[in-house]
Amino acid sequence: MVMMMNSPVLLVILISSLTQSFGKEYIVGDTFWSIPTTNDFYTNWSSSQFFEIGDTFYFDFDSGLHNVMQVSSRQYQSCTADNPFEAFEDGPAKIVLMEEGVFYFICSISNHCGLGQKFSAVVHRGKISGPIPSPPGPSPASQHPLSSSSSENNFPYSSQQSPTGGEIDWSTNSSAVGGSNSKTNSGAAPLYC
């Protein structure tokens, strides 16, 4: 009888620890990755979040209309992506944060960055209670020059509603960035400060 009473409590503890062992998934800006209505929209969104190692950024955008470039602080300030650390041309894209530091993301199409389609993220060590999820392996058919690949849903949730009400397709271009298992041009690419 005592064991039956403890079972629901154990189940809650188990579920809680499982969800804490994976990072949080953030839809960048809580909306579609696009030119914002105000120049500081993404900056305000990012500064109101607490990002930790193991968290994931999900950039929801249409290929050809927008992109995501991980750049240096200097390139971020000047809105240039001449030599990005990472380039995601095909949307949507997801990036797993594998190390602490300050990271910079912009859209390099036209003047989108100058219009506010950029943000910096401070990633903290955090209190991850389990191993950081491994990044998805490279897809043999991947056309991305760095490390984007199509992958199955690697999140602990089966689906999520997008801010516009439609279901998000989690089988996207993805990359794990930073950490000791990082590789460039195949598998996961490092996230540079």
Each residue of 98-141: pLDDT tens digit? 999 999 999 999 999 999 999 999 999 976 555 555 554 443 33
Joined tokens for residue 49: 């979040």
Structure tokens at 154: 């690697």
Distances 151 to 31, 94, 116 between C-alpha atoms, Å: 22, 10, 30
pLDDT at 86 over 80: yes
Evaluate the CA torsion angle 64, 67, 69, 74 in order and state its sign: positive
Select the CATH number that applies to the domain covering 23-177 from these four: 2.60.40.420, 3.40.50.10260, 1.20.120.80, 3.40.50.300. 2.60.40.420
How big is the chain by its Cα radius of gyration, in Å?
Answer: 18
Average pLDDT over residues 70-77: 98
Q: Give the residue-averaged pLDDT of 171-182.
A: 48
Q: Residue 88: its pLDDT value, please? A: 97
pLDDT for position 126: 76
Question: What does pTM read for this prediction?
Answer: 0.62
DSSP state of 28: G
Domain residue ranges of the chain, discontinuous segments joined by +: 23-177
